[in-house]
Structure 1
Amino acid sequence: MANESIKAELASMIDEFQQQMRVLGETQQKRAQLMATGYALQKRVTVVVNADGTVIETKFDEDLEGFSLPELSKAVTEAAQAAATELARKSSELTAPFQERRGRMPKMSDLIEGLPDLTKRIPEAIPASTAPPNSPERQQHGDHVMTFTDVEDLDDITPGRIRADDW
């Protein structure tokens, strides 16, 4: 009896999985068509990005006289970042139904007693910095150099010669 119950649950999961794959395919097609627009300098600078966040169009209003190159550079960056933020919002909105449906599916740990829920071990995504390359924010993070402490000093080994007793 318990075996029939597990089979029915598994069949239901397979059906749900197939439906999700269909919805995922449709969502991916819609996502590929996404675009987002960002503006700066009171809409005098416009940047459009595609679904991958790649800039596909940059426009400047004719009324930009008097702005310096650093100001214009900053405006283009701001517009691109605004477009990326809008793209993230649109992407999240598009995938929300899929994520909700996925959240309703039972986990393997729900079906098999004693199996740990590994989804709790997935690390949270860390947002990428929008700071310029040489900004203080980026300099702080550059200090985290990987250091190995459990190493052996191999000065006494001639490069290119490996002896069996070295292993």
Structure 2
Amino acid sequence: MANEHEKAQLADLVDMVKGSLAMVAHAQEERARLTATAHARGRRVTVTVNADCIVIKTEFSDDIDELTYAEIASAVTAATQEAAGKVQRRAAELLEKLEEQQKLIPTLSEVFPGMPDMAALIPKAPSAPTAPPGAREEPQPEEPAVFTETEDYEHDPHVRQRSNIAAPDW
């Protein structure tokens, strides 16, 4: 009888996981359809990005020639970053909804006591910088390790002395 109860629990868990996977697929499809548009320099520059923050459309107004090349470049960068921020926020909202549903599914450690929580072990990726390469603070390399308590070892067998065990007169 207890075996039937465990089978029913496992079937419920499998159904929850299947439902969760369907929700993940739906959220991925919704995310893929996301776009965002932003303007800069008094709407002289308009940039639209897709869900991957790739520029898919750039428009200039008729009076764009009132700006210098440097101002246009700066406006394109600003509009692109703003649009990318918008689309990332919307994608994060989709992810939050999905994560709320995922919390209903028991973790491996809840199903199998003693198992580590795998989700907690996944490292979080750092955010990419938005400043141009010359303007960002580059991480300082760590000091190389220095080993002080070492011995010299000759790797060439012809140079280092051989053991007398193999000597013919032994």
TM norm structure 2: 0.77
Partner residue, 2:120 = 120
- Give the unaligned 5+ runs of structure 1: 158-167
Q: Sort the Cα spacing of 1:29 and 1:76 in 2 relative to 1 into closer, same or farther, 3 A.
A: same
Query: What is the CA distance between 1:147 and its match in structure 2?
Result: 4.3
Partner residue, 1:92 = 92
One-letter identity of the residue aligned with 2:13: M
Query: What is the CA distance between 1:153 and its match in structure 2?
Result: 8.9
Matched, 1:30 2:30: yes
Structural mapping, 1:63-142, within 5 Å:
63-137=63-137, 140-141=138-139
Whichever of the two has the greater Rg, that structure is: 2
Q: Sort the Cα spacing of 1:103 and 1:146 in 2 relative to 1 into closer, same or farther, 3 A.
A: farther
Cα RMSD of the aligned pairs, angstroms, is 2.7
- Give the unaligned 5+ runs of structure 2: 157-170
Query: What is the CA distance between 1:130 and its match in structure 2?
Result: 0.2
One-letter identity of the residue aligned with 2:93: E
> Identity, % of aligned pairs?
37
Which has the higher mean CA deviation after the structures are superposed, 124-133 or 2-11? 2-11
Partner residue, 1:51 = 51
Asked if the contact 2:108/2:118 (under 8 Å) is kept, the reply is no
Asked if the contact 2:129/2:136 (under 8 Å) is kept, the reply is no
Query: What is the CA distance between 1:136 and its match in structure 2?
Result: 4.0
Query: What is the CA distance between 1:80 and its match in structure 2?
Result: 0.4
- For 1:148 and 1:154, the matched residues in 2 are separated by 19
Q: Sort the Cα spacing of 1:146 and 1:82 in 2 relative to 1 into closer, same or farther, 3 A.
A: farther
